[in-house]
Structure 1
């Protein structure tokens, strides 16, 4: 008998010296048969305040409570060991992230007798996970962002263009595209230098991005001094108005360009195209056609808009 008492005392000391918090719930009564005293240090609630499973549920973040309780009950009824992460309410009103690891104990008849498990404080792990998610999102955004101008890059542009082309074809809706080219930009760079040239690109990109007026419009750097504006569900007349608005916005910038044959200030040439794509149509052929309109705008004196 003495050995049994010593053994029980040993295991009790072992359980209560760990950072994990051991507990046991009687399945029939749904009352705590035991919970480690470490719970008070972690959450601020004394061990004797954990009377029933209801105390456990009530001391859970409202956004987590329903799914965690329903999940744990269903798994326990099936006799399946399980674990769940949730935010546990502290006595001071704050929350800590907890991972509950649950083992289902059956009696000789095979019915659920009790639940035993450990609670682990995973708050620091969650903070690290949240930081990693945030960093991954930042990296994702950076991978789709042009490093110089801050607008979307060609990689993102190609992806969005493919999706909008497919959507337009499925929905039989018009798709319009505007390609912009800064007039005589090489001469601008040669005259002012690359630092001011880069600043010009940034200002033009920021200004042209104001052509995005709806949530599904999309603006990106196409390459070099060229940019593209994608206008889903936009007919030719509406696209022409957007192009004129963009031309006016660039003119209002009044960026000096003293050696441009087109204007004493920075201007852009624009190729505009609209299509309601059919199964036989090609996205590449459409973009080539818009690019040809841009070429015509440049050939006809620049600072022009050519629609097709």
Structure 2
């Protein structure tokens, strides 16, 4: 009958409390992977005192894990492990070997069964978490066994479990090597795997950021291009006059052909009746001619007509042209004699399938998916494999909050589950839409799982090899000693040569030393070679980044700075002028009738005009502080700090006249091309506003006036006479 030994009980309880404290502070690795060392306590007790005291220690240790993990499985799994190790010790089976058998035969299958029934773990997480439990168990078994072996003087307990028979030198040497090998291999593997997964996270995070930025910019360019098309078309309609309504249908069809990103386009009168449409057949020719179709209840009409703005709608179901989800872009147009009273609107419905083409540009990362959400939180577009229907509410939740990772994670399907489904990054568009790029989280787990599985397999193989090799080594070490002992007992001390033993170190040791030395030299050589390759790759990456920076800041066609650079440069320029209380000018230069140039001379001729004009601008506005940028299409932005208010108008008129005198040779057919430009500008003290949009708006109004007054003009808003006088 089992009797409680008070000394053993106190010892077991003491180690259990130490294990409990250690388990309260598990070592975090990646995600929810944690290394626990407190369970080494019940391994020590199982070796020294047997199964039942080990059970007590395991229960106390598991309290710490239950507090940390909030999962009751720890009491079952680790209590059984303690009992298993205790009985194995009584059978003279080494604890490490017994623990390998436990996790393979009972521990991991039991955990899978428990997790499948009681846990919310996704199937993709299950095998990884199970493998992690086994690896962690082996580490604790190895640490506990090594502690008993190395510091045996510490465990001076009466009536502790002893071997039934004395173990051989071969067995002891093999087991000692196996313990050291297990701890070294698993420890280094955990560190290596941790570093690898950190690199994977950094790479994944960078890839996601690059993808979402690329797709976000592409989406913004797509929207901006089509918004500007509608905006320019509305101005063109305003200039056309009411007497030309009969010709709008054909021109609308041509405009639609130029912008296939629009699924449909239409023009209404002031009563919201459709008077032109493309494709006309979809609505019916007679219905359009008779003005039978009204869009009075549509937001895109109300916002554009009554608020007199260029309006981009949230996603909604179409009507008339079809019942597909669309996003409408609309703008009002006016009579030439009533510029403040809208005559109607022009509207284009974006083809949402175009976003799939934008996503295809990101095909380098095939396992990533794209989600585009409007300002109302509804799905505009989502990759097919996500199964999110257009116009559905975008339902998602942050997940993996307790995971140790720098990645942002979310769930789309099982929102309540704390375990992450996707890693993601997001991009906020200028129109309050939001773009998400997501990637399944499970491949990261699969990578780590494969690393752990490889580690486990290498460990088992290493232990098998260690057993075989150690047996050979022990025989080679013990056999000569036996021969010497026998010879000495029979004949007394003799020369070493009589026993076939060299007085020098064994040749195997020398060979081993030389082999290690050679391997080290090869390793150093490989390391130097690897460092050289890394340095070369780093240099190439820096060069590529420099080129990319140039591409980001400059327009490829004109070699001028682009809109992003101009907006960023404006801040520092305005701030510098403001601190000096200086005057600055912001101007918009636009090529007159550029569409006509393109239609007459082709796009190559138009591009040549842009290139020649850009070169002339760089020659004329050549101060280091001047900023010249292509703002979009045939429109250029001038930021001229420290300018003279008395000379700026003449300066701009001089450049306008110079452009008028240019003769440009069309590279396509060698025909000469002449062009004119209109310039709208604002000159004021830098304190006028810190926002470029405010300066740009006034300059744009002046440009509009220049266009209305016949083009080839410069119109500037000057400071009032009462403003502080500024000189160059």
Task: Give the TM-score of the pair, scaled to structure 2.
Answer: 0.26
Match of 2:675 among 247, 262, 266: 266
Equivalences for residues 23-62 of structure 1 within 5 A:
none
**Structure 1 residue 189 displacement after superposition:** 2.1
SS at structure 1 position matched to 2:588: strand
Question: Distance in 2 between the 1:163 and 1:246 partners?
Answer: 26
Question: Distance in 2 between the 1:153 and 1:191 partners?
Answer: 27
Question: Which residue of structure 2 aligns with residue 155 of structure 1?
Answer: 564
Determine if the alignment matches structure 1 residue 191 to structure 2 residue 600.
yes
Question: Distance in 2 between the 1:279 and 1:200 partners?
Answer: 34
Determine if the alignment matches structure 1 residue 16 to structure 2 residue 425.
no
Shift in CA distance, 132/242, structure 1 to aligned 2, threshold 3 Å: farther
Shift in CA distance, 279/179, structure 1 to aligned 2, threshold 3 Å: closer
Question: Distance in 2 between the 1:238 and 1:3 partners?
Answer: 97
Question: Distance in 2 between the 1:210 and 1:152 partners?
Answer: 15
Q: Which moved more, 1:157-166 or 1:2-11?
A: 2-11
Question: Which residue of structure 2 aligns with residue 60 of structure 1?
Answer: none
SS at structure 2 position matched to 1:141: helix
Question: Distance in 1 between the 2:646 and 2:703 partners?
Answer: 17
Question: Which residue of structure 2 aligns with residue 144 of structure 1?
Answer: 553
Q: Which moved more, 1:235-244 or 1:207-216?
A: 235-244
- Report if the CA contact (8 A) 2:591-2:635 is conserved: yes
SS at structure 2 position matched to 1:278: helix
- Report if the CA contact (8 A) 1:211-1:245 is conserved: no
Shift in CA distance, 302/143, structure 1 to aligned 2, threshold 3 Å: same
Q: Deviations over 1:166-213 (max 9, x none)?
A: 333333222212211111222222222223222222222222222331
Determine if the alignment matches structure 1 residue 180 to structure 2 residue 589.
yes
- Report if the CA contact (8 A) 1:189-1:197 is conserved: yes
Q: Deviations over 1:259-295 (max 9, x none)?
A: xxxxx93111112222223276654222211222222
Question: Which residue of structure 1 aligns with residue 699 of structure 2?
Answer: 290
Shift in CA distance, 15/194, structure 1 to aligned 2, threshold 3 Å: closer
Shift in CA distance, 233/132, structure 1 to aligned 2, threshold 3 Å: same
- Report if the CA contact (8 A) 2:563-2:632 is conserved: yes
Question: Which residue of structure 2 aligns with residue 135 of structure 1?
Answer: 544
Question: Distance in 2 between the 1:232 and 1:272 partners?
Answer: 13
Question: Distance in 1 between the 2:700 and 2:675 partners?
Answer: 20
**Structure 1 residue 228 displacement after superposition:** 1.3
**Structure 1 residue 9 displacement after superposition:** 4.0
Question: Distance in 1 between the 2:570 and 2:545 partners?
Answer: 24
Shift in CA distance, 13/186, structure 1 to aligned 2, threshold 3 Å: closer
Match of 1:2 among 505, 508, 519: 505
Shift in CA distance, 282/119, structure 1 to aligned 2, threshold 3 Å: closer
Shift in CA distance, 292/152, structure 1 to aligned 2, threshold 3 Å: same
- Report if the CA contact (8 A) 2:567-2:692 is conserved: no
Q: Which moved more, 1:231-240 or 1:214-223?
A: 231-240
Question: Distance in 2 between the 1:280 and 1:220 partners?
Answer: 20
Question: Distance in 2 between the 1:195 and 1:256 partners?
Answer: 11
Rg (Cα) greater in structure: 2
**Structure 1 residue 299 displacement after superposition:** 2.5
Question: Distance in 2 between the 1:150 and 1:280 partners?
Answer: 29
Question: Which has the higher relative contact order, 1 or 2, with Cα contacts under 8 A spaced 6 or more apart?
Answer: 1
Question: Distance in 2 between the 1:266 and 1:280 partners?
Answer: 33
- Report if the CA contact (8 A) 2:585-2:684 is conserved: yes
Q: Which moved more, 1:245-254 or 1:123-132?
A: 245-254
Q: Which runs of no fewer than 5 residues in structure 2 stay unpaired?
A: 1-503, 667-672, 718-728
Question: Distance in 2 between the 1:120 and 1:305 partners?
Answer: 64
Task: Give the TM-score of the pair, scaled to structure 1.
Answer: 0.57
Q: Deviations over 1:113-143 (max 9, x none)?
A: xxxxx86673332222111111111112112
Question: Which residue of structure 2 aligns with residue 165 of structure 1?
Answer: 574
Question: Distance in 2 between the 1:181 and 1:17 partners?
Answer: 66
- Report if the CA contact (8 A) 2:681-2:716 is conserved: yes
Q: Which runs of no fewer than 5 residues in structure 1 stay unpaired?
A: 22-117, 258-263
Question: Which residue of structure 1 aligns with residue 618 of structure 2?
Answer: 209
- Report if the CA contact (8 A) 2:612-2:664 is conserved: no
Shift in CA distance, 119/136, structure 1 to aligned 2, threshold 3 Å: closer
Q: Which moved more, 1:147-156 or 1:278-287?
A: 278-287
- Report if the CA contact (8 A) 2:557-2:607 is conserved: yes
- Report if the CA contact (8 A) 2:629-2:636 is conserved: yes
Question: Which residue of structure 1 aligns with residue 347 of structure 2?
Answer: none
- Report if the CA contact (8 A) 1:294-1:306 is conserved: yes
Question: Distance in 2 between the 1:290 and 1:296 partners?
Answer: 10
